Amino acid sequence: MCGRFVLATKPSAFVDRFRIASRVAGDEEQFSFSEKELSDLEKHADELDEDFHGHYNIAPRSNVYAVSRLDHEAVTLETFRWGLIPPWAKDETFGDKCFNARSETMGDKPSFRSAFKHSRCAVLADGYYEWKQVAPKQKQPYFIHNENSEPMFFAGLFEPKTSSATICTMEADGELRELHHRRPVFLNSEEVAHWLNPDALRQDLIEVVLSSSDEGIVSYPVSTLVNRVGTVDDPTLIEPLSKLL
């Protein structure tokens, strides 16, 4: 599950990851972004950078940044309302229950199947929060992120008609399962290009999800101030609890 996350890194830094991956790949036979696509993404990122400021407590209904592609249209970098709203939904509140999409069923569930087929995205993040039950009536928030502090991509889906998006989740294992049995589908720079490949078959996309690794993902407890959505939104939220005590 992913119901709260952090984005403190500017969008241009995420696009830089694609440029680095492209240089490393060289002439290898694999789907990747073209030079024009990378240039366009860099332009989009520079525009978004101008008004960007970090958010440390992003919740559903907030705007999220994502690299996206609708069918065979050009790949773009834009913002979406978090909580996917299908075009047939009666009102925006429908998105409140669609901020996550289970990867096992997103290809068939009415709320997500069109987006799964036509409009996938990769949500930009620096980490996310999860809550661990430590007492009958007490939960401790943890910040989960890359051990090397590099930015993260979460597999996502978006609805172009309502400018809304969701984060795809999968079963967690290892240490992350001790915090919650679900986690976002993590994508590295190369996997983002495969996830957005307009010619990808259903099995291809399933393989991208199955290859999602939590290697190098770590966590630590943080202040319960993160529980207060809309009141606290600064870097202290991701400070290790041991430093705040």
Residues designated as active site:
2, 130
Could you tell me the two tokens for 232? 């606290």
Q: Which amino acid is at 64?
A: V
Name which of 68, 74, 77, 70 is nearest 15 in CA terms: 77
* DSSP state letters, the chain: --S-EEE-S-HHHHHHHHHHHHHHHTT-SS----HHHHHHHHHHHHHHHHT---EEEE-TTSEEEEEEEETTSPPEEEEEEES---TT-SSGGGGGG-SEEETTTTTTSTTTHHHHHHEEEEEEESEEEEEEEEETTEEEEEEEEETT---EEEEEEEETTTTEEEEEEEE--GGGGGT-SEEE-EE-HHHHHHHT-TT--HHHHHHHHHT---TTEEEEE--GGGGSTTT--SGGGGS-HHHH-
Whether 155 and 81 have beta carbons less than 8 Å apart is answered as no
Residues 6+ apart with CB under 8 A from 93: none
